[in-house]
Chains A and B, each alone.
Chain A
């Protein structure tokens, strides 16, 4: 549906996007994840035709954004970051204006605007001026704006920012519902949002894709990397290292603290297999006093932090 190839964008000397390539299928919700300044918004702006890439191409249904911007803009509903709407218009007038430009026929227009108002919870504010609205309501108007005319592709830049927890759940449900039939790209830096709504996650950092897959895949790939936390009484680090040297899959052992003769160790493992049993049996043979023994898997948050931490 959307094909991004070798997308690069410079702002002066600053490289915001560095040869990004992606294929996004129809009926998919793609979460674009990354820290602030990673290049998420730049990527979305190029996809929607607001910015031109320095090099690379974006096509939707085989149509190039650069060559046929009007055709692409008809296909895409876009909610920019923090919904910069026309402050001086009434909500209804604003949606009507967008309906004009999106060429919604007068027959079905009222019904369509009403449906969007229902979905986005705008019925109470339809005749209020946009500048009077709270941030959450502005965000909802922005969402209704993006959905006007049922575009095939929806690009949402941080759609839930500024919403209260109930609204966040509502908006996520809407996104999930839309995502069944359409292509949705959501940018966010909220991890729980990606877990709750997206089929696929692309993590970008400093303009480069550092991870790409479903949330399950990302977690599974991290399952081969975990650590075992041991708490042993009166045992030195070197003894532990010697003891566990024959065990396969250990990438490192470090002491993380001591407490009244009790030493805390972290055994970093890099293997898809669970080596807890081997480690336990080795300790049992030495007859050391084992006070604590636990496995720590990586959360999505930890994966995100590791992938995007500054070099």
Chain B
């Protein structure tokens, strides 16, 4: 028998809390609504059965939505004081950070599940190539994981949820746009910034080609951000 770990208890609690208040349903509705509207408003102009436009918009939408999903994870606990209870229970900092991260990631997966209906609708209208769609969803989960770990790090810095949201959003935006705004840099340097950019790696995967370099990039961002969050809460001692 597998003994459930502290990570799973913290994960379960945090995941349930998302759905206790109406905020989760509002966030999911806003995401599905905005993504759907932006996608379908230009979809019929090109008359092509593909989801490329949807996936090209996704990083920018995630920059707003994911920091809003993660902002409360630490900031609220610091503000209410419940963090003192959590930190004095027999759990490690790693349990706390991983539990919260997995809960936010699971929420993001649930948030993007309704968009599968776009793919199904498009496939009914024309001959949809499922390769890039599957790649796009794998990329979305990786991107969601990277951004939510950044959001958790931002939340671990402050007891103010708004500050956590804005900090998370700025970092996510910087990672998404870094390779686009630096076009004036010399070519060699641009390559470096392109490698740092999240959008570049996401679009690679969304083409349907899963390259280990792109996967490693997202896993590295998750590791670095979660490690920083771990460091941040440890420093609070």
**Interface residues, chain A, with chain B CB atoms under 8 Å away:** 45, 48-52, 70, 73-74, 76, 78, 80, 82, 84-89, 97-98, 100-102, 145
Contacts and interface: CB of A to CB of B under 8 A. Distances in A.
A50 B9 contact: no
A298 B91 CA distance: 47
A230 to B, nearest CB: 53
Interface in B10-25: 13, 17, 20-21
A48 B88 contact: yes
Contact of B90 (A45, A82, A89, A101): A101
Given A97-B9, A97-B13, A84 B88 contact: no
A85 B90 contact: no
Contacts of B237: 50-52
Q: Which of B13, B21, B88, B237 has the most CB of A within 10 A?
A: B88
B13 to A, nearest CB: 6
The 8 closest A-B pairs by CB, nearest first: A84-B81, A73-B90, A52-B237, A100-B9, A74-B90, A80-B84, A48-B88, A78-B88
A259 to B, nearest CB: 54
Contacts of A98: 89
Given A97-B9, A101-B6, A84 B90 contact: no
Contacts of A101: 6, 9, 89-91
B28 to A, nearest CB: 18
B87 interface: yes
A76 B84 CA distance: 14
B220 interface: no
Contacts of B85: 78, 80, 84-86, 145
21 contacts: A49-B87, A49-B88, A51-B237, A52-B237, A70-B92, A73-B88, A73-B90, A78-B85, A80-B81, A80-B84, A80-B85, A84-B80, A84-B81, A85-B82, A86-B17, A88-B20, A97-B9, A101-B90, A101-B91, A102-B89, A102-B90
Contacts of B82: 84-87
A223 B34 CA distance: 78
A88 B13 CA distance: 10
A272 B85 CA distance: 48
A49 B87 CA distance: 8
Contacts of A76: 88
Q: Classify the secondary structure of A's interface with B.
A: loop
Contacts of B88: 48-50, 73, 76, 78, 80
Interface residues of B, number: 19
Nearest to A49: B88
A145 B85 CA distance: 9
A82 B20 contact: no
Interface string B209-222: 00000000000000
Given A84-B84, A86-B17, 5 more contacts: A73-B89, A80-B88, A87-B82, A97-B9, A101-B90
A84 B81 CA distance: 5
A89 B80 CA distance: 14
Q: Which of A45, A85, A89, A100 has the most CB of B within 10 A?
A: A100
A215 B81 CA distance: 33
A262 to B, nearest CB: 57
Nearest to B84: A80
Contacts of B9: 97, 100-101
Contacts of A73: 88-91
A97 B80 CA distance: 18
Interface in B53-91: 80-82, 84-85, 87-91
B172 to A, nearest CB: 26
B90 A50 contact: no
B71 to A, nearest CB: 15
Contacts of B81: 80, 82, 84
A88 B17 contact: yes
Nearest to B10: A101
B19 to A, nearest CB: 11
Contacts of B89: 73, 98, 101-102
A98 B86 CA distance: 10
Interface string B25-61: 0000000000000000000000000000000000000
A76 B85 CA distance: 12
Nearest to B95: A101
A52 B237 CA distance: 5
Nearest to A80: B84
Contacts of A89: 13, 17
B190 to A, nearest CB: 44
A88 B21 CA distance: 8
Q: Which of A48, A73, A74, A101 has the most CB of B within 10 A?
A: A101
